[in-house]
């Protein structure tokens, strides 16, 4: 069983400057087909072989290449890039990139990212046969292997053999995208984080340092009988991303998750539930907290008396009496002694999104409503992107469509600001 399925993995692909760089586009496409989130860093040399626009179109994210970008590096972009990925993949890994990795050089964004990462790396070497067999390259490959870097396209230390663009024949050709994809899946079967020695690393100085955060995520399943249940299309991606972003901001996080096909975020206490009543009990028992984010899509109704046995088709369809489920968001927002300082709800709407969100803000008594459209064709439920309107007493702020990790980061920044104002 994989520690991180490819369908939920975040891959940082570093493209080196070689003729084989064109294969990186097919690799991006195959990774995306399998559900992986792919970010791309290209060396300056790589951009001479492959257009960054092509990689951006296939990955769905801007391509990064400039270590000194005022926008990206104002937020320490090379640190964030390397830390947010589950695995770093270098393809093609040129002789120059292998040498930089082996000797800890950091003169450009690609090399700096590889040096700053806290995750494992997988390299797919690509170079002329003489370069591959040169003693310096052999030493560099041996060093990287000893450092725990995985190689694909290597057979007992030699890369794939075949005819090269230069006309020569022998080891040094980059592995084909299907082989690299298989190597990525193998790498994800084990934890990819690189631990630091005790007492070393970042201090707890995040925007939510010292805060307790509760996040609900995913759908609830309300049983009809032992086989059937009432559910919805929530994937839990947004709620899980919020929990992870809060943890990165220094908070102690409890994630209360309905049934989802996602891995538990690392460093987060996770409570798994199925029904709305179980989620309510878990949420109340997790209090007190400084922040409560109700991102779960909780079923509004449940069957009053679920069948103890599987309902049969004999006699026509059964009459199901539905009763209301507990309103977890309203109940937490209405608490007196231990109400969290910031209570955030979500509103998934098919029409009048902003108006319905304003109404929900008043009815629930919370501080913020994050509203989005789940109308047919929106691609929000189960998708990787989100487009939200953030509704509060201060007004409505419409955010452009972006991936759910970015929505989570922005929301945590907003929550941290509100928490400081109310401290």
**Which residue numbers are catalytic?**
166
- CA 340 – CA 215 distance, rounded (Å): 12
DSSP conformation class of 204: S
- CA 284 – CA 264 distance, rounded (Å): 21
- CA 289 – CA 99 distance, rounded (Å): 49
Please return the burial class of 324, using the count of CB atoms within 10 Å of its CB with bins 0-12, 13-18 and 19+. exposed
Strand partners, 322: 303
From the list 297, 378, 412, 404, the residue with the least C-alpha distance to 10 is 404
Q: What residues have CB less than 8 Å from 346, skipping those under 6 apart?
A: 238, 294, 295, 296, 297, 369, 370, 371, 372
Q: What residues have CB less than 8 Å from 123, skipping those under 6 apart?
A: 89, 90, 91, 93, 97, 98, 101, 144, 149, 150, 151, 152
Please return the burial class of 98, using the count of CB atoms within 10 Å of its CB with bins 0-12, 13-18 and 19+. buried
- Locus of tokens 């300082």: 341
- CA 14 – CA 39 distance, rounded (Å): 9
Distance of CA 73 to the CA centre of its chain: 21
**Degrees (nearest 5) of the Cα angle 295, 327, 418?**
50
Cα separations in angstroms, 359 against 113, 330, 352, 363, 371 = 46, 13, 11, 6, 11
What does residue 190 show for φ and ψ, rounded to 5 degrees?
-120, 160
Please spell the DSSP secondary structure of 113-155, one letter per residue. HHHH-SB-EEEEE---HHHHHSHHHHHHHHHHHHTT-EESSEE
Radius of gyration of the chain (CA): 25
Kind of pairing between the strands at 269-272 and 252-257: parallel
């Amino acid at each position: 069983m994989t520690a991180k399925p490819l369908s939920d993995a975040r891959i940082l692909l570093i493209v080196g400057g070689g003729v084989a760089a064109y294969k990186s586009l097919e690799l991006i496409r195959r990774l995306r087909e399998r559900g992986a989130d792919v970010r791309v860093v290209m060396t300056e040399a790589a951009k001479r072989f492959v257009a960054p626009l092509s990689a951006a179109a296939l990955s769905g994210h801007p391509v990064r290449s400039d270590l000194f970008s005022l926008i990206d590096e104002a937020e320490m972009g090379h640190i964030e890039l390397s830390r947010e990925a589950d695995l770093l993949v270098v393809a093609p890994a040129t002789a120059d990139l292998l040498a930089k990795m082996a000797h800890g050089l950091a003169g450009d964004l690609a090399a700096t990212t590889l040096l700053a990462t806290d995750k494992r790396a997988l390299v797919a070497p690509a170079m002329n046969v003489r370069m591959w067999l040169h003693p310096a390259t052999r030493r560099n490959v041996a060093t990287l292997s000893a450092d725990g870097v995985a190689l694909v396209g290597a057979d007992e230390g030699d890369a794939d053999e075949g005819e090269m663009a230069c006309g020569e024949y022998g080891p040094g050709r980059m592995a084909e995208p299907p082989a690299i994809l298989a190597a990525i899946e193998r790498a994800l079967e084990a934890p990819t984080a690189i631990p630091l020695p005790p007492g070393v690393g970042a201090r707890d100085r995040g925007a939510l340092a010292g805060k307790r955060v509760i996040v609900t995520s995913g759908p609830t399943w309300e049983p009809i009988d032992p086989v059937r249940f009432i559910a919805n299309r929530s994937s839990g991606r947004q709620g899980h991303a919020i929990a992870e972003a809060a943890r990165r901001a220094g908070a102690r996080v409890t994630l209360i998750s309905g049934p989802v096909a996602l891995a538990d975020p690392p460093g987060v206490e996770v409570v798994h539930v199925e029904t709305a009543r179980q989620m309510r009990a878990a949420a109340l028992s997790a209090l007190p907290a400084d922040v409560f984010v109700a991102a779960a899509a909780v079923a509004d109704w449940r069957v009053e008396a679920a069948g103890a046995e599987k309902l049969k088709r004999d006699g026509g369809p059964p009459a199901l009496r539905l009763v209301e489920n507990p309103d977890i968001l309203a109940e937490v927002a209405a608490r007196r002694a231990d109400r969290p300082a910031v209570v955030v709800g979500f509103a998934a709407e098919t029409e009048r999104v902003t108006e319905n969100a304003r109404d929900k803000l008043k009815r629930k008594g919370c501080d913020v409503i994050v509203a989005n459209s789940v109308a047919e064709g929106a691609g929000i439920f189960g998708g990787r992107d989100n487009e939200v309107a953030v509704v509060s007493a201060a007004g409505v702020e419409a955010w452009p469509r972006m991936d759910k990790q970015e929505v989570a980061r922005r929301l945590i920044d907003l929550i941290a600001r509100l928490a400081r104002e109310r401290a």
